[in-house]
Structure 1
Amino acid sequence: MDFENVHQVDLTLIGAKSVSFTLMVGAKQTKLDSDLVEKLMAHSSSVQLVKLKSSGKDALDFALAYYLGRAVLADPTAYFHIVSKDGGFDPLIDHLRARHIHVYRHASCAELTFTWPGKKAAVSDPILEKIVVKKVAAKKAAKKTVAKKVAKKAVGKIDSEETWMERVLKDFKEHPKAQPKKRKALIAKIANLIKKKVDGPEVQGVIDRMAKVGKLSFDAEDVPKYHL
């Protein structure tokens, strides 16, 4: 929580939940309200108070990002909630969520989506549970299907690169004097042999595969060397 930006702290959200709360306090915030201190002490096992020693532009924001990174590293599958009105965190949040990290920003504690203490749990519905189980199973099956398609496509790509590489190596062995002396000429030669565009990913894929199996290298001046 960005205490420089949001001053209303509500720790009732912790309750019996497995929630860790980090309060980020700026260097110029030298005093804490006694009521807040009591709240922090009541949940001391779940609360971490971080007080910056020096101030600067966006200093607390950088510190918050650092502690968020540490928390993500400790448990990448957890859910992380930033309490701050500062929209400057949103690009970082988008970046992390694109990498399947569960991060959200809330302008106040009231916007947090935890289940609050004292609320009764919903009554279990057997029919609804069956529907949920079926949906989960369907999602898992769909993921497996997608994974198989991706794997099949990847294998096909490898097979194509192997075939193209063999075609290129065969030509270079049969015509050693015609082997390209510059990278640009090599790219054009490979593109012509495999019938692909010179700026296409297929050509670079063949070059990478030749280098990987030890058939091609480049010297300090980027001149291709063939090991056929």
Structure 2
Amino acid sequence: MRTNYVLIDYENVQPEAMAVLSKEHFKVIVFVGANQAKVTFEVASALQQMGERAEYIKISGNGSNALDFHIAYYIGLLASKEPEACFHIVSKDTGFDPLINHLKGKKILACRSKDVTDIPIVKASNSKSPSEKIAVIIADLKRRGAAKPRAVKTLTSTISNMFQKQLSDEELQSLLLELQTKGIVSIAGTKVSYELPA
């Protein structure tokens, strides 16, 4: 499974449910502002348990968007080393959205979530009912923009990866059929087209 980097804007969001990032495919970087003297026990404890998959970066300067620029720098650095990785910025700051759109245009998977529990792969692993799974798939396809899978085989594999390869072949086929029934996906031979809801 691809590496999922979670870059947390700790000035903006102090997540409580850090344990959801304990799986091996997550690497977490918490960006702490120059004037922040401490992090919560829950965050420190969860990161300590992740060992080498987690780190803090305390920025050295103050100023408008100083922490945001650090996050943008690290995404660029990591994306050049691991272009297949997925990047999750955890922040309520919508100023990251143009950067995310630019990354998507470069075929780099990236998104912004307001909390760690809103990260798409976390939501997918917590969804139980078929309708919850369909909602997760639709949200992921919207986020992909022009980088949506164009072949049935690729779409099936994308959905399987979304749910950490925990779905049976029957469940995968059922989800594909549901997407077709709802008119979200059209399949012609091996090709896929989309009509995503607004």
Which residue of the other structure, out of 5, 20, 27, is the alignment partner of 2:34? 27
Q: CA RMSD in A?
A: 2.9
With the length of structure 2 as denominator, give the TM-score of the two structures: 0.60
Q: Partner residue of 2:167?
A: 122
Q: Partner residue of 2:117?
A: 110
- Map 1:54-65 onto structure 2 (within 5 A): 54-65=61-72
How many angstroms apart in 2 are the aligned matches of 1:5 and 1:31? 14
Q: Partner residue of 1:43?
A: 50
How many angstroms apart in 2 are the aligned matches of 1:72 and 1:9? 27
Q: Partner residue of 1:76?
A: 83
Query: In terms of Rg, which structure is larger?
Result: 1
Q: Partner residue of 1:85?
A: 92
Q: Partner residue of 2:106?
A: 99
Specify every segment of 5 or more residues in structure 1 that has no aligned partner in the other structure, as ranges: 143-228
How many angstroms apart in 2 are the aligned matches of 1:17 and 1:119? 19
Whether the 8 Å contact between 1:13 and 1:114 is mirrored in structure 2 is no
Q: 1:9 to 1:127 in 2, by over 3 A?
A: closer
Question: Greater share of strand residues, 1 or 2?
Answer: 2
SS at match of 1:24: strand
Whether the 8 Å contact between 1:80 and 1:102 is mirrored in structure 2 is yes
How many angstroms apart in 2 are the aligned matches of 1:60 and 1:95? 19
How many angstroms apart in 1 are the aligned matches of 2:118 and 2:172? 32
- What's the CA shift string for 1:36-61, capped at 9, x where partnerless? 21111111221121111221221001
How many angstroms apart in 2 are the aligned matches of 1:7 and 1:16? 20
Q: 1:15 to 1:124 in 2, by over 3 A?
A: farther
Cα deviation, residue 7, structure 1: 1.1
- What's the CA shift string for 1:83-122, capped at 9, x where partnerless? 1000111111111111211110111112112247788933
Q: Partner residue of 1:166?
A: none
With the length of structure 1 as denominator, give the TM-score of the two structures: 0.53
How many angstroms apart in 1 are the aligned matches of 2:96 and 2:115? 14
How many angstroms apart in 2 are the aligned matches of 1:127 and 1:119? 14
Q: Partner residue of 1:138?
A: 190
- Map 1:136-215 onto structure 2 (within 5 A): 138-139=190-191
Q: 1:119 to 1:128 in 2, by over 3 A?
A: closer
> Number of matched residues?
138
Specify every segment of 5 or more residues in structure 2 that has no aligned partner in the other structure, as ranges: 1-7, 129-165, 178-186, 194-198
Residue 81 of structure 1 aligns with an amino acid whose one-letter code is H
SS at match of 2:112: strand
> Percent of aligned positions with the same letter in both sequences?
30
Q: Quick one: higher RCO (CA 8 Å, sep 6+), 1 or 2?
A: 2
